[in-house]
Structure 1
Amino acid sequence: MEQQQQQQHHLLHFIHPNHPLLFNPDHRSGYRCRGCCEQVYGPSYSCRESGCYHYTHHKSCAELPLGLHHPLHPIHPLILFSPWRWAYVAEDKQFYKCELCKESCEECKDVYSYRCSRCDFNLHITCASLAPTTMEPEFHHHPLTPFWKWVIFTCDICGKEDKDKGMPYMCQPCGLWIHRTCASFPSRVKVVRHKHLLHLTHSSLQFHQPDPRFCQLCVQKLDTRYGLYYCSICDFIAHLDCAIFKENREYIDLQKFEDEDEVPELDESVDSITYKVNKFNMGEDGTQIAIEIKHFSHEHDLMLTDEVLNNQKCDGCVRDILPPFYSCVKCSFFLHESCVKLPKKKKHPLHQHPLTLLPKAPYMHKLFWCNACRQGCNGFTYSCIMCKFDLDVECSLKPDVFTHEGHKHRLILSNTAHRQKCNCCDNERYQVFRCTTCEFVLDFQCATLPQTTRYGQHEHPFTLSYRAEDNSGEYYCDICEEERRDSKYWFYYCEDCNYPAHPNCIIGKYPNFKFGGAYTFDCHSHPLTFVEETKDRPQCNECNDSCEELIYQCAQCNFYIHQYCL
């Protein structure tokens, strides 16, 4: 009896033959199990020798049988195998893919596998378990039974075919064949871009329309014969993957809402006033016109003016100043009247949390990269500090459905987990606008290009153009004198002078940066001026490399530092 009790508390394991693993009835250290890679709490085995505490196992993982006969590979027995230990001793450092979940052991190299080396067949220990004979998905009223044979089948939920054979889960009463991973889809979700909850619908009897439908999250075709998320109140429809995509999904307590409830939207009128009127005049129609204000973004009072000088930029949207606008009489600070009236809080379809208007990015270098257009900016940002999510003003104002002068059909916001190529610049982005009529794609960078702008000392304005200015087949930029790659790419054009140019040549490489402003940092005693580049390429005082562009400088002290070195 004593010998049997001792054996229950000691275990010799193949992964660690040097020392026995000791039993602990209530493990609390939080180490990860060497067998399944999950954290260990409760009954466990581990090595107590100095330096060996990482050899910890759940009791169930430590007591796994060394050999296994499995219905997915009946011709040979499977042997318990550690990819981590094999990679440690083998010269080729080879990792193996589980035949059931298709995940490579390189991504979870501590997970044990059952392996047949003769057939190069592998199953993770969690996938090899025969214990759970059925599973109960949220969205279906019958349990699903595993079919322990490799077959080629089309999943009735995602509509994808397993070309290399797979193991389906079956609902025998309904005749459904489902991937094991597809059985984990939630029955209800809330997405950022819709006010009601969406239900997973997976039967052609429940929902089937012969006319083509488009997912309203990615704006691409959706096959209604398979699973989808649907709001019957609004006829809102979405792909399964699009609805559970983390950037589209809104994480709320679904138990608090009924299907017909509208989830409350953010009231932008509450605590959204960003300025105080100091003086006002009466207009001809009797309305009050604020001529002097105090804005939350600036330390001095701002005056309403119509006098525009060359190369002035708004400190909010970082676009060319157009009258009427507010200016500071003490420093070069300007705000469009529309930027003064921006709400302090905003809900945007690209993010699940409310965004707060900030006059400067909440980061050390005072700059941010917009999550929509992927361009740098040092103007106002609509920011979610918790998620480090930022939108510049122009992108924040873009509606999710609009018509652009460069395309005849309406465009709808598409947010996906894969890149999509813009038709006007060939950049690939996750967030774009799509046309359901002709599959035209426009990214945020092109969608927010100004329709008209000026360039240097050129006397005429340039207008954004969407087609070739001639039929010669040769397209050049008159500023850089280099060939423009394709006539379909948008460009700026002065019709008076027959003067075409690349957008970057007209609006600059960094159109959303306002240069010349002074900022205070801990690394230097004087305010530093933000400049695009210097002619002599001085040495950075932090990294000692030459400063070529995006530099903070103190001309008084001959001090220079890269923006990313801050």
Structure 2
Amino acid sequence: MKYNEISHFSHPQHTLTLDYTETPFKCDGCKEVGIGSHYRCSFCDFDLHTHCAIPSLSIHHPFYTKCSFQFFSRPPGNTPRYCNACEKDVTGFVYHCKSCGFDLHPCCAKLPMVLDDGETNLYLYRKVRAPCHKCGRKGRSWSYRSSCKEYNLHVACVREMLVENWHELYFGYGKGIKKLENRIPSLKDTLQTPHKRRKGKVKKCCEMAGLALQFVISAVLGDPTSLIAGVIGTLMS
């Protein structure tokens, strides 16, 4: 077997090969959208995030110091479950803490605590009192906040964007969809109101927020090491 091939319990028919794509895919493990590096069976059109393909049996997370999360191939119990990071339903692979009942999608569980967008660091927080630049609300889910404290994005809002735009993202890629810099009117309007600045500074602020958003989306999609601007540019309307 080659170093970039693995056998996986969820797909015993064939080995999975490490692949890279700028076309979004649906992970057959956690059932969430993915992009970039992943493991794939080309015979069966079967894909897994790298976090889902090579999971840890158990993990600890700095946000839940008293919890021990165990890996499950399906949600435990008979009641609907949701991810405590992004607030989206859990329908496939999951990390679950039996003592507290918390759940984390594999990609959410492995979200980097710090993202470097080239201009300013983005730090992951369990809760932020500042409003999110997408929904305008405070609190809610985990958030990425910039070191300058001007950009704040809920992980839940990024997940919602992925769900809302999934059909367009999956079926419309490569069909002339505008890039991110031309598709952030709601983000731009949100930033213009609280920041009383000259026009040039407002434009720069919006560009920075757009870049920060792209890095957060890359992380949520399961590949924080790559910035796939061409595809990520389709995610906001």
Asked if residue 358 in structure 1 is aligned to residue 69 in structure 2, the reply is: no
Residue 312 of structure 1 and its aligned partner are, at CA, apart by: 4.6
Partner of 1:381: 94
CA–CA separation in structure 1 for the residues paired with 2:122 and 2:92: 27
Distance 2:5 2:150 in 1: 45
Q: What residue in structure 1 maps to residue 223 of structure 2?
A: none
The residue aligned with 2:131 is 421
**Structure 1, residues 208-254: CA drift from partner, whole Å, max 9, x if none?**
xxxxxxxxxxxxxxxxxxxxxxxxxxxxxxxxxxxxxxxxxxxxxxx
2:12 aligned partner, one-letter code:
H
Q: Please give the alpha-carbon distance, in whole angstroms, between the structure 2 residues aligned to 1:426 and 1:368.
A: 26
- Give how far 1:321 is off: 6.1
In 2, the alpha carbon distance for the partners of 1:388 and 1:488 equals 35
Determine which of 389, 396, 402 is the counterpart of 2:109: 396
Q: 1:415 to 1:294 in 2, by over 3 A?
A: closer
TM-score normalised per structure 1: 0.28
Q: How far apart are residue 422 of structure 1 and its match?
A: 0.9
Shift of 1:421: 1.8
Aligned to 1:300: 12
For the structure 1 residues 422 and 501, does the alpha-carbon distance in structure 2 shift closer, same or farther, using more than 3 Å as the test?
Answer: same
- For structure 1, which runs of at least 5 residues remain unmatched after alignment? 1-279, 282-287, 476-483, 506-566
1:117-266 paired onto structure 2 within 5 Å: none
The alignment's TM-score, normalised by the length of structure 2, stands at 0.60
Greater relative contact order: 1 or 2 (C-alpha under 8 angstroms, separation 6 or more)? 2
* CA displacement, residues 266-318 of structure 1 (integer Å, 9 cap, x when unaligned): xxxxxxxxxxxxxx13xxxxxx3435x142xx27344225698x875112342
What do you get for the CA RMSD once the two structures are aligned? 4.2
CA drift of 1:390 comes to: 0.8
Deviation per CA, 1:307-337, whole angstroms, max 9, x where unpaired? 98x87511234224656523396x7753244
Question: Deviation of residue 384 (structure 1)?
Answer: 0.6
Residues 1:442 and 2:153 are matched in the alignment? yes
Conserved? CA contact 1:404–1:411, under 8 Å: yes
Q: Look up the equivalent residue of 2:174 and give its one-letter code.
A: E
Q: Is the 8 A contact 2:87 2:141 kept in 1?
A: no
**Structure 1 counterpart of 2:123:** 412
Change (3 A) 1:363 1:458: same
What is the 5 A alignment of 1:105-120?
none
After superposition, the C-alpha distances for 1:388-411 in whole angstroms (9 at most, x for unaligned) are: 101112221212222247xx3212
Decide whether aligned partners of structure 1 residues 430 and 312 sit closer, same or farther in structure 2, where only a CA change above 3 A counts.
Answer: closer
1:456 to 159, 171, 181: 171
Q: Secondary structure at the match of 2:171?
A: coil
Q: Does residue 144 of structure 2 align to residue 433 of structure 1?
A: yes
Q: Give the distance between the partners of 1:362 and 1:438, measured in 2 at CA.
A: 38
Equivalent residues of 2:15, 2:41 under 8 A apart: yes
Which 5+ residue runs of structure 2 have no aligned equivalent? 163-167, 192-209, 215-228
For 2:141 and 2:36, locate their aligned partners in 1 and report how far apart those are by CA, in whole Å: 32
Contact 1:302 1:328 in 2 (8 A): no
Distance change >3 Å, CA 294–CA 455, structure 1 → 2: closer
The aligned counterpart of 1:347 is 60
Q: What is residue 221 of structure 2 aligned with on the other side?
A: none
Please list, as runs of the form range in 1=range in 2, the aligned pairs for 1:539-550 lying within 5 A after superposition. Answer: none
Q: Which has the higher helix share?
A: 2
**In structure 2, how many angstroms separate the alpha carbons of the residues matched to 1:303 and 1:322?**
19
